[in-house]
Structure 1
Amino acid sequence: MSQERVLITGGASGIGAAIAARCRQDGYQPVIIDRIGDGIQADLSDSKETAHALEQALEDGPITRLVNNVGIVVPAHAENQTLDELQLAWSLNVRCAVQCMQALLPGMKAAEFGRIVNMSSRAALGKELRSAYSASKAGLLGMTRVWALELGLHGITANAIGPGPIRTELFDKANPPGDPRTERIIKSVPVKRVGTPDDIAQAASFLMDERSGFTTGQVLYVCGGMTVGVASV
């Protein structure tokens, strides 16, 4: 019997690579689309390249698990955030997720089973210098809830993960080590450490599990407790 496959966007590094490694441990075959690495290479900010990459991913048959992980942070003060940056964040963080879901949906519906995990962010609750990023990640949360409502009758769940500060190259680029803002972030984490990509992979593993079919439309904040007292119950 062939391994079940999981499509992971942006799976060549950081959180995506950790999720891919965890998929292998869990007995799945990760199918990675990214600009780099040994998987399917594509610029997912471009809808045509995304479509071609999805065609390649589905050449070997349907894929019933999807992790919309790819994303970009374009830090800027609200008055300086450019429309090009806003468009880039929206295309990569939101449009790409919709396009991937729609491509895989026929196979999920035919199997009467599917697991969709959208990588949002604690920044969806609001964070300085994150107008474009927060807007796109909040949009992803809204879509997650809609997908849960619309797709549940087909055995498909849709959930989101909201990472807090996770030590990745992307995190360090947006939050330079030694910067006072970065130090304030670390000190504010109740468990007194920055998260790791494996912390996020653990959450994704749970949400992708066949036994997690009664969990849908939810946001799992993996943030060391930072959202306590901030996010609504």
Structure 2
Amino acid sequence: MSAVSPLVRIAYPHLARREMLAFLPKTCPRLLDVGCNTGAFGEAVKQARPGTEVWGIEPDGGAAERARKHLDHVQQGFFDGSLSLPDGHFDAISFNDVLEHMPDPWAALHHARSLLTPEGVVVVSLPNLLHLDTIWPLLHDHDFRYESSGVRDRTHLRFFTRVSALRMFEECGYEVLSVTGINEQWWNTSLKRRLTYRFFGRWLTETKFVQYAFVARPARRAVEQEPATSSGMRLAS
């Protein structure tokens, strides 16, 4: 059996991620979906909230072309200053399992700040490194096996726990408004594991969730300290 290079791009399905709709602001006329893939999430947003203007950023040409059928504006490329995006335009910027694919997710979060309206937020889903199906092989088998999807997706460049993700937001000058464990998976495991969760669930809570959903906004102090001409790439003091 031949090995699969981690550098080979995975063709992800047209997945709407409807569980992330609940984390968008109640008032969100303009959304930017970073790493929009084929536009499934933006399509779901427009179905749930008719009239929402949805922009998408997608590096893969084929996926970007499909996304154009569903979204109002789609740009092919990486999320950085080379793209033509309007400053202060978006009420929300979504990163649905995207930041972990980036060499520098900190730079992406800094860049997002300049694109948000004064009350705008980032809505982020991040895979949870402490999920049971990842830490159990580490502890039991001393193994970390990359897969074609999930927490151990072979194209992931960064890995986060809830705590390390919160630190990243703080380092980038954000105030985290909410943190929610999503896509809970643990109950369909062995009886031994279910009993373990029953008696030790208080200490194992963070191992239940495949991802965490974060809603964050630029911290007021950080915004006030940004020079008016800043590109949003400077660390807040």
- Compare the two structures and name the one with the higher helix fraction: 1
TM range (shorter): 0.3 to 0.5
- Compare the two structures and name the one with the higher strand fraction: 2
Structure exhibiting the larger radius of gyration computed from Cα positions: 2
TM-score by length of 2: 0.44
